[in-house]
Amino acid sequence: MKIFTNAFLIILLIFSLSCKQQQEKDTGFDFSGMEQFFVIASILEEDREPSAEKWNRLFETPGYNVLTDGEFTREFFADRFKIVFMPSKAYELEQALKKEQDQPFHLQHVHHYVQARENKEELKDYMNELKANAAEILDNSAEKAKRYLPPIDDQGYIPVSFLIFANDARGYTPVVIDMLFAVELGDLLHVLIGHELHHYYRSKVLVYDRDVVEEEDENLIWVFDQIHCEGMADQIDKRKLISSEDGPLHFFAGQWEAMVQNAPEYINEMDKLLCEIADYPKRKEEISSQLRKKLPMSGHPVGFYMTNVVIENLGKEELVEKAGNPFAFFRLYNNAAGIDNRHTTFSKKAIKVIEELENKYVKADFKKAVED
């Protein structure tokens, strides 16, 4: 299948899926968005306007529903699908493609939909292949996710919706994966899903309740949690996607390694700002907002660096034991970093700020486990 590889968007996907709490379960993949997409495409190719009912069926599928809940509008998709698939709009398509040439590639949606049109039959075949292998892929993904988690009984899966929207994916609930993008990932689709499954399972062992975090503490705890959860989940997929010579993101390996190596700079900055919070508690919201804005790539490179240090100096078991406690993770990193004095550590004053939040929010049932 000849599909244009959008390197930038693949990178954007890998670092934009955040560790939101996942609570819904599914026993397979959701292809309703693709199925309704094919219905719409077939009607448009006959130069007919789909009925309102047909459009509603498309946008009420789980994937398109979550995409149009804020990031996109229904009109965004409808207008572009018409231009791409309706023969009478050939001139408009030509103009739209020319206009997109001046845009960053990740904004060239019309071009992407043309790729979907030209590979429609191949996409149907791939969808059927995924349907046939859904259980195996999800089981494989779950097995990889649970390698970095303490024992849990939950056998559920996060819902994963496949559709056409961009050469990209989103870490919503459901997780949204573009079908053309899935083709790009090939046999490595399961490690991406494993990364997301880790977030889902980790939410089951999280030691604090995100819903009760006070506004003044939201940015701080978001930073702690992002660094922790992405650092752990990145152990599942980043080496295969980036470091491996045959990985789809290997071209990005040099930049990724540079960002990971620069993680100590952020740790130093984080330590400085946490100390300022300790000295000027009334400025907590202002300072924590700075901390969040400065966190590179939603915490991925910093978290990957910190989890690597823990595994290298203390072992994977220690990391797994604290999988649900982002506060304890920072203490764990500090202990690991202090073993050989080769890594940047947090000051006692900064750790105290983290522990104060831990004492404030960790559920009573987990207090003893935290102390142990």
Average pLDDT, the chain: 89
pLDDT at 9: 45
pLDDT at 17: 56
Give the C-alpha separation, 21 to 6, whole Å: 29
Q: Output 257 or 1, whichever has higher pLDDT.
A: 257
pLDDT at 154: 72
Q: What is the 3-state secondary structure of 202-250?
A: HCCCCCECHHHCCHHHHHHHHHHHHHHHHHHHHHHHHHHHHHCCCCCCH
The arrangement of strands across the sheet holding 160-163 comes to 29-30, 160-163, 175-178, 169-170
Q: How confident is the model at residue 62 (pLDDT cuts 50, 70, 90)?
A: very high
Compute how many other C-beta atoms are within 10 angstroms of the C-beta atom of residue 75.
Answer: 9
pLDDT at 367: 53
Give the C-alpha separation, 283 to 89, whole Å: 56
pLDDT digits (tens, 9 = 90+) for 288-345: 999 999 999 989 999 999 999 999 999 999 999 999 999 999 999 999 999 988 999 9
Q: How confident is the model at residue 26 (pLDDT cuts 50, 70, 90)?
A: very low
pLDDT digits (tens, 9 = 90+) for 292-304: 999 999 899 999 9
- If we measure between CA atoms, which residue out of 114, 75, 76 comes closest to residue 93? 114
What mean pLDDT do residues 225-233 have? 96
pLDDT at 333: 98
pLDDT at 24 over 50: no
Give pTM, 2 decimals.
0.81
> The dihedral of CA 62, 67, 69, 73: what is its sign?
negative
Q: Which two tokens stand for residue 264?
A: 């100590």
